[in-house]
Amino acid sequence: MHLTRTQRALLAAIPLLFLGLFFFYPILVIFRISLFPAGRFDAASLRVLWEKPYYLRVVWFTIWQAAASTLGALALGLPAAYLFAKFRFPGRNLLRALVTLPFVMPTVVVATAFIALIGPRGLVNQWLMTLFDLPKPPIRLLHTLWIILLAHVFYNTSVIIRMVGGVWANMDPRLEAAAAVLGAGPWRRARHITLPLLFPAILAAGLLAYLFNFTSFGVILILGGPRFATIEVAIYRTAVRLFNLPVAAALSILQMGFTLAMMAVYTRLQRRMTAPIEFQSAQRTQRPLRTAGEKLLAWMIFTTLAVFLLSPLLALVAQSFRMGDGVGLASYRALFENRTGSIFFVTPIEAARNSLAFALVTMLLSVIIALPAAYLLSEPNREGFSLARLLDPLFMLPLGTSAVTLGFGYIVALNRPPLNLRTSLLIVPIAHTLIAFPFVLRSILPVLRGMNPHLREAAQVLGASTLRVLRHIDLPILRRSLLVGVVFAFTISMGEFSASLLVSRPQFPTLPVAIYRLLGQPGRANFGQALAMSVILMTVTAVGYILIENLRYGREEF
């Protein structure tokens, strides 16, 4: 579809106005509060970050725990990526889908799952106490570094498997075959051929996992407790509990600086190290497991993956049905009860209703913003200036900014007319839309760019109006990708925790915020409610992931 300048301007206005009001403006207010608190430049809030030992410890902990977590994910994920890439075996696709499931789980679900498995009241401790007649739980990992690292490895192993395994599965096997003919042994072939070709994919996957660990919030807040804080957690505690907005803003600037610097390093390294290789179909590069050694290795790796990646989620489900010494639905029936009786706490089912309403609004807003952006980016360049080249990375910027930083920006920026939204319920779906919009855009854009332009031209020649072309040509072709984008927006909104914790009103919590509150309350009944809500949220997310996997075009890796 050929757009006039007026049409392009109107299409650009929708996403740019949204980003301007709800992304760039809050970020600029953060910079003003931190660097220009009295209307002139003042670096006092930045100096606090290196003058106070607490903030230096926070920055150092953020850096090294992310590195340790990434190394753990690489150590577990690379052997599995090799097996998925090189071998065919029964149940391969099912197992591959199962090991990806942890990556799409909301952070509160993962945190609650690890508490259900290895927490003080977890299945493992209960089993050990019963088996050895112990008076106290023998495993005490909650609020320690080890449970943080385990949760991060749990999250990011699937990133390594999918990204590295996707490249590995399509590498041309003739390169290694030629080296073998020339006398190179397996280790020499791995060192001089496989590893150099895989290194860009390993680097990309490792850096992506590092960024996820670096910006970790929910895992640290729930599993780490008061002893540990990443920059994300420090922003939340400094802004909400200490109400020191200039220092919180300085931490946000530091967070954004680290993220942009890592992305710049990644882009430069990838450009210098990526080598052109001829990819082959995975059907040609994979073979069945033949030798006893291959079968034993596969069994060991897959058993480790299944136990490590699936046992927390299974423990979460099992614990949600526990009732004293038996099983039952007491925790699920309690979802309709407000045990505190306070107006600032609602029943869990009301929190689920809030999340559902916010998710529906997020779906609508995301499509309204992503569709014009996708049409704008898919327009062919006919005037020597590529607007898409400028706007495409601009629309992706929210993905590089932490949700906590965005939530903090909303607190300090959207608190006065004409954007006095801090007490409005609309602020929650707006924050969710900013996070979901890039995913919806990426779901629609490839289909629009691949659409045959002759279909539209033929319809217009036959007298069809622009609206009729959209209705009868574009929408039927876009239907599946739109549905994928809508499901993305829905599941992201349902599981979003970081920004929601900052901007949601106490009387209208989302499902993740309600789970976090209940985990902080004493008593088995509150814990049971948190478990039941986590199972519901896990189920919604899993169903969304299955729908996306079955509806999307092709089998591209994320």
> What average pLDDT does range 237-264 have in this prediction?
84
Q: Give the Cα-Cα-Cα angle 150, 403, 234 (nearest 5 degrees).
A: 65
5-9, 91-95, 272-276, 517-521: lowest mean pLDDT where?
272-276
Write down the mean pLDDT value for the chain: 84
- pLDDT of 225 above 80: yes
pLDDT of the residue at 388: 65
pLDDT of the residue at 231: 93
Do residues 238 and 254 make contact, with C-beta atoms less than 8 angstroms apart? no
Q: Which CATH class is domain 1-32+329-558?
A: mainly alpha
pLDDT of the residue at 2: 60
- pLDDT of 373 above 60: yes
SS percent in the chain: helix, strand, coil, step 5: 75, 5, 20
Alpha carbon distance 135, 140 (integer Å):
13
pLDDT band at 305 (very low <50, low <70, confident <90, very high): confident
Could you read off the pLDDT of 536-551 as tens digits, one per residue? Answer: 999 999 988 888 877 7
Do residues 217 and 233 make contact, with C-beta atoms less than 8 angstroms apart? yes
- The H-or-E segment that residue 318 falls in is helix 311-320
> What average pLDDT does range 310-319 have in this prediction?
93
Under CATH, which number does the domain 52-102+146-309 receive? 1.10.3720.10
> Per DSSP, what are the bridge partners of residue 279?
171
pLDDT of the residue at 384: 44
pLDDT of the residue at 98: 81
String of DSSP letters for 446-504: HHHHHS-HHHHHHHHHTT--HHHHIIIIIHHHHHHHHHHHHHHHHHHHHH--HHHHHHS
Q: How far is CA 469 from the centre of its chain?
A: 36
pLDDT band at 387 (very low <50, low <70, confident <90, very high): low
- pLDDT of 188 above 90: no
Percent of the chain whose predicted confidence (pLDDT) is above 90: 34
Q: How far is CA 80 from the centre of its chain?
A: 21
pLDDT of the residue at 320: 93
pLDDT of the residue at 554: 46
pLDDT of the residue at 555: 41
pLDDT of the residue at 271: 56
> What average pLDDT does range 91-103 have in this prediction?
81
String of DSSP letters for 424-437: STTHHHHHHHHHHH
Q: Do domains 1-32+329-558 and 52-102+146-309 have the same CATH topology?
A: yes
Alpha carbon distance 447, 441 (integer Å):
11
pLDDT of the residue at 386: 59
pLDDT of the residue at 478: 82
Q: Using alpha carbons, select from 165, 151, 163 the residue that is nearest to residue 102.
A: 151
pLDDT of the residue at 490: 94
Alpha carbon distance 392, 397 (integer Å):
9
322-323 and 326-327 as β-strands: parallel, antiparallel, unpaired? Answer: antiparallel
Whole-model pTM: value is 0.86
87-88 and 287-288 as β-strands: parallel, antiparallel, unpaired? Answer: parallel
Do residues 101 and 115 make contact, with C-beta atoms less than 8 angstroms apart? no
Q: Domain extents for the chain?
A: 1-32+329-558, 52-102+146-309
Q: Using alpha carbons, select from 33, 32, 112, 8 the residue that is nearest to residue 538.
A: 112
- pLDDT of 278 above 60: no
Alpha carbon distance 395, 348 (integer Å):
35
Could you read off the pLDDT of 18-50 as tens digits, one per residue? Answer: 999 999 999 999 988 888 887 788 888 888 888
Do residues 505 and 307 make contact, with C-beta atoms less than 8 angstroms apart? no
Could you read off the pLDDT of 414-466 as tens digits, one per residue? Answer: 888 778 888 889 999 999 999 999 889 988 888 887 776 667 667 766 777 66
